Amino acid sequence: MRDELYEPLRLVSGAATAPPAGRWRAAGRTVLAAAALAAAIGLVTLARRDSPLDGEPYAVAKVEVAPAPSGPAAPDVTASVHEAAIASADQVEAASGVKVTRPGGGGPPNARIIDVERALADRLNAAPDPRLVETSRYGPLPRVGADGARPFEVYARPALLDPKLKAGAPRIALMVGGLGLNAEGAEAAIAKLPGAVTLGFAPYGAGIEERAAEAREAGHETALQAPMEDFSHGTGEPGPHTLKTSASDADNLDSLRWLMSRFAGYVAVVNHLGGKFTADTRELTPVLTEIAARGLGYLDDGASPRSVAPDVAAALAMPSARADVVIDANPTPEAIEAALARLLESARERGSAIGVASASPMSVALLARWTNGLESKGVALVPLSALMSTIRANQPVATRP
């Protein structure tokens, strides 16, 4: 039969690690003595409390604790429990995500410093921030606060670099999109990918607010993927409220506000498809102007060579960037590995690079493995917001303690 009281401490009833009976007898005598002493203190306290009540009787009891029996000292049960708890410290550390720094790289018994600062730094600001909310007929929309605070800055994840990396180490940002339509896919991406990976959510699907909140709780900054008109070749629109070249500015802005109301806490808008729409300066400019006015950034996913979004965003002086590599444009393991190699080479040549990918199971699995070895290659993984500006190379990045 399981003993649920001691099993978490590896003190399973009847197992070889359970304390001998002598230990329990010694511990029992100590507990009884302590209980008697506590009772005496309680009586004295009660007597003192009642003493002002006009002659109410009270009693004082004196309890003497018998000396410990002579002979070998009884084993310390507390020490045994402590040792058993320490034995599982490795599992606790792995489950918590808090790094434990040990002198000389020792095991759990030598632990001295818990790097709580890093763990706290990975947590994002709460969303929505009341300062950054505008009420609309569709729901809450992002806005610039009265104090000048912008969602792009308030909701961003800090860029924390490992101090082991050389100064000026290349930086890579990843945006994995397509979340929000499939709960299992979102859960896998949130759980398997490092917190520095930015997650893009489509504006459709049930539970999108909950999934986006879970992503931020896990340390991922988020982006909104806005569907835009593509050279469809008969595939139709990507979804309701798609931004189209045939629509008026008022209609496109109304659709954009519906899209923006779907969830809170994102730092940027990213195009979903949009080869035709992003090639039209006249249609794109009012949309990016609205995004900039609401304190958000814009990422061009790099899929369309005809996109004018980088030029329009630069003219608006808004935080923006264009992805350098679409990692799973060809969704085979070999092609994805080759795309990641190009992304790494681009980061080393230019100082930074941005990759985008879908949240397919294969892409998530390959990215999880690849990002795990980035720092050993001398490259920093940073959130998307850290590489979004009109001049990406000049963006300041904090150093992780």
Query: How high does pLDDT run on average in the chain?
Result: 78
Identity of residue 102: R
Is there a contact between 243 and 276 (Cβ–Cβ < 8 Å)? no
pLDDT of residue 99: 44
Averaged pLDDT, 275-297? 98
Decide if pLDDT at 97 tops 70: no
pLDDT of residue 205: 84
Q: How confident is the model at residue 86 (pLDDT cuts 50, 70, 90)?
A: very low
Q: How confident is the model at residue 163 (pLDDT cuts 50, 70, 90)?
A: confident
Is there a contact between 212 and 201 (Cβ–Cβ < 8 Å)? yes
Convert the chain into a string of H (helix), E (strand) and C (coil).
CCCCCCHHHCCCCCCCCCCCHHHHHHHHHHHHHHHHHHHHHHHHHHHHHHCCCCCCCCCCCCCCCCCCCCCCCCCCHHHHHHHHHHHCHHHHHHHHCCCEECHHHCCHHHCCEECHHHHHHCCCCCCCCHHHEEEECCEEEECCCCCCCCHHHHCCCCCEECCCCCCCCCEEEEEEEEECCCHHHHHHHHHHCCCCCEEEECCCCCCHHHHHHHHHHCCCCEEEEEEECCCCCCCCCCCCCCECCCCCHHHHHHHHHHHHCCCCCEEEEEEEECCCHHHCHHHHHHHHHHHHHCCCEEEECCCCCCCCHHHHHHHCCCCEEECCEECCCCCCHHHHHHHHHHHHHHHHHHCEEEEEEECCHHHHHHHHHHHHCCHHHCCEEECHHHHCCCCHHHCCCEECC
- CA quadruple 223, 228, 231, 235: dihedral positive or negative? positive
pLDDT of residue 95: 47
Decide if pLDDT at 200 tops 50: yes
Among 10-24, 140-154, 194-208, 355-369, name the one with the lowest average pLDDT: 10-24
Is there a contact between 193 and 368 (Cβ–Cβ < 8 Å)? yes
Query: Does pTM surpass 0.75?
Result: no
Tell me the angle at which helices 361-372 and 183-192 cross, rounded to the nearest 10 degrees: 10
Q: Say what percent of the chain tops pLDDT 70.
A: 66
Decide if pLDDT at 325 tops 90: yes
Q: How far apart are CA 299 and CA 287, in angstroms?
A: 13
The model's pLDDT over 27-47, given as tens digits with 9 standing for 90+, comes to 445 544 444 544 444 443 444
Q: How far apart are CA 396 and CA 160, in angstroms?
A: 11
pLDDT of residue 29: 53
pLDDT of residue 304: 95
Decide if pLDDT at 120 tops 80: no
pLDDT of residue 185: 86
Decide if pLDDT at 117 tops 80: no
Averaged pLDDT, 286-313? 97
Of residues 136 and 72, more confidently modeled: 136
Averaged pLDDT, 346-373? 96
The model's pLDDT over 228-258, given as tens digits with 9 standing for 90+, comes to 999 875 556 788 999 999 999 999 999 999 9
Q: Determine if residue 97 is left, alpha or beta; phi over 0 gives left, psi from -120 to 50 gives alpha, anything else beta.
A: left
Decide if pLDDT at 118 tops 50: no
Q: How far apart are CA 253 and CA 244, in angstroms?
A: 11
Superfamily of domain covering 130-399: Glycoside hydrolase/deacetylase (3.20.20.370)
Averaged pLDDT, 113-137? 75
CB atoms within 10 A of CB 144: 18
The model's pLDDT over 207-218, given as tens digits with 9 standing for 90+, comes to 999 999 999 999
Decide if pLDDT at 103 tops 60: no
Q: How confident is the model at residue 183 (pLDDT cuts 50, 70, 90)?
A: confident
